[in-house]
């Protein structure tokens, strides 16, 4: 079995942009499922096109497909009772990851969330990326959107699928163990424990595309995703393009970007230009200065919310590197959440992703002018520093070193 952080050959992978491209592919795969669907997501919202995904899960479970759905206790919140009833009546095994207790997010251990977005169908197809089950034109906090949210996912086949399936299976049974233990169903907990790891990965034939599944958790894989980024940035020769919805990299990652720019690599960042959350919006700005001084280009996406978590390096060279996943480059993703990224070494894929990101920067991005950044209003600078300080305080409370 290939290691989860190592590249394996023999894959096919397709880039999908937004729910408009992901949901039809996802629904087609689920409607063709014969034995099993494993689904994990941070947000599961049945408004608009999100309902079509829920309906596909219901159809699959109703015809006897083993269908498991895991949602995050913060991201999804309280799903409408009518939808929960329909899912369970059809036979969908529905579970909430780390539901909030009476103290909510006041307890630091509750900051560890399930943020990855994964779906495996029949251990044959994998969907991985940053796209939640959420309509492109709907935001739970801000209502209707004038333009679609910018986000990406991939559909992949090959030996990587089994690795993702095993990781999802392991999380599922750990959740069942904890639930059984809390209810004092110890025999059932022991039975679930024996089920963990019962499956093994199998290789699938395909093309010569090389992929790796990079997971982040709070046990064995605490820094895998950040390490993958730093290695790729350190090896960059011509160009780095990163799109990150929430961007607050730690000191080592910031230094890697600065060093790349200073050695002549063109570094372009596509970041959030619309106000979404106080902390994520304002805490990001204090790190702009050092990056701009080093020659890093910062483009802010404004037509809608940027939700992408992707990067492409040296796409026009002989050894391109690209990643699509759920991990932002901020402390919540890199230190606390469960995340999943697919890394791709393929010329055609890297160039397609680059083309889409360059188009977004040129047609929907506003380049940050260093003079404009330095001259931003006093009120904004104060808010930026407050947010940055609060983020550092929160990490100190959580016992994490980052900056």
Q: Do you know the residue count of the chain?
A: 403
End-to-end CA distance of the chain: 36
**What percent of the residues of the chain are helix, what percent strand, and what percent coil, each to the nearest 5?**
40, 25, 35
Q: CB within 8 A of 376, min separation 6: which ones?
A: 285
Catalytic, 115? Answer yes
Query: Which of 360, 120, 387 lies closest to 275 in space, CA to CA?
Result: 387
Query: Which of 95, 16, 29 lies closest to 57 in space, CA to CA?
Result: 29
Are 53 and 23 a contacting pair, CB within 8 Å?
yes
Are 10 and 205 a contacting pair, CB within 8 Å?
yes
Long-range pairs, 57-64, Cβ under 8 A, ≥24: 57/30, 57/87, 57/90, 57/92, 58/86, 58/87, 58/90, 58/92, 59/30, 59/31, 59/90, 60/30, 60/31, 60/33, 61/87, 61/90, 61/91, 61/92, 62/90, 62/91, 64/91
Catalytic, 314? Answer yes
Q: Which of 282, 309, 330, 346 is catalytic?
A: 309
Q: Which of 307, 330, 346, 384 is catalytic?
A: 307
**Other residues' Cβ atoms within 10 Å of the Cβ of residue 80:** 11
The SS3 of residue 144 is strand
Q: Which of 11, 45, 72, 115 is catalytic?
A: 115
Q: Which of 72, 136, 139, 314 is catalytic?
A: 314
Q: Please give the DSSP secondary-structure letter assigned to residue 332.
A: I
Catalytic, 307? Answer yes
Cα 198 from Cα 169, distance rounded (Å)? 9
Catalytic, 122? Answer yes
Q: CB within 8 A of 191, min separation 6: which ones?
A: none
Q: CB within 8 A of 381, min separation 6: which ones?
A: none
Q: Which of 117, 136, 217, 299 is catalytic?
A: 117
Catalytic, 309? Answer yes
| Bridge partner list, 241 | 268, 312
List alpha helices for 1-149, DSSP H: 18-31, 50-62, 81-90
Q: Which of 9, 14, 31, 122 is catalytic?
A: 122
Q: How far is CA 344 from the centre of its chain?
A: 15
| Residues that are catalytic | 115, 117, 122, 307, 309, 314
């Amino acid at each position: 079995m290939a290691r989860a952080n190592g590249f394996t050959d023999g894959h096919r992978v397709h880039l999908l942009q937004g729910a408009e491209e992901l949901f039809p592919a996802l629904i087609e795969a689920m409607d063709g499922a014969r034995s099993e669907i494993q689904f994990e997501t941070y947000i599961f919202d049945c408004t608009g096109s999100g309902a079509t995904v829920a309906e596909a899960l219901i159809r699959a479970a109703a015809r006897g497909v083993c269908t498991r759905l895991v949602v995050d206790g913060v991201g999804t919140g309280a799903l409408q009772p009518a939808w929960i009833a329909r899912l369970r009546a059809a036979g969908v095994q529905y579970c909430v990851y780390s539901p909030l207790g009476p103290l909510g997010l006041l307890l630091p251990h509750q900051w560890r969330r399930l943020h990855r977005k994964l779906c495996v169908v029949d251990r044959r197809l994998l969907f991985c990326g940053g796209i939640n089950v959420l309509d492109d034109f709907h935001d739970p906090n801000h209502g209707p959107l004038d333009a679609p949210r910018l986000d990406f996912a991939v559909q992949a086949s090959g030996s990587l699928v089994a690795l993702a399936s095993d990781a999802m299976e392991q999380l599922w049974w750990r959740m069942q163990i904890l639930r059984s233990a809390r209810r004092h169903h110890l025999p059932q907990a022991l039975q679930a424990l024996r089920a963990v790891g019962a499956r093994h990965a199998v290789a699938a034939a395909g093309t010569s595309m090389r992929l790796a599944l990079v997971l982040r958790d709070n046990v064995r894989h605490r820094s895998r995703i950040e390490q993958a980024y730093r290695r790729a940035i350190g090896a960059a020769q011509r160009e780095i393009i990163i799109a990150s919805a929430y961007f607050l990299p730690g000191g080592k990652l910031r230094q890697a970007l600065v060093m790349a720019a200073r050695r002549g690599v063109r570094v372009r960042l596509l970041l959030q230009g619309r106000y979404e959350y106080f902390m994520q919006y304002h805490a990001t700005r204090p790190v702009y200065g050092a990056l701009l001084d080093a020659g890093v280009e910062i483009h802010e996406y404004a037509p809608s919310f940027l939700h992408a978590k992707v990067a492409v390096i040296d796409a026009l060279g002989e050894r391109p590197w690209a990643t699509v996943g759920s991990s932002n480059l901020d402390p919540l993703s890199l230190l606390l959440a469960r995340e999943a990224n697919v890394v791709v070494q393929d010329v055609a894929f890297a160039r397609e992703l680059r083309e889409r990101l360059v188009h977004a920067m040129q047609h929907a991005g506003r380049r940050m002018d260093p003079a404009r950044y330095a001259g931003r209003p006093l009120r904004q600078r104060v808010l930026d520093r407050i947010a940055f300080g609060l983020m550092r305080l929160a990490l100190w409370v959580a016992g994490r070193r980052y900056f």
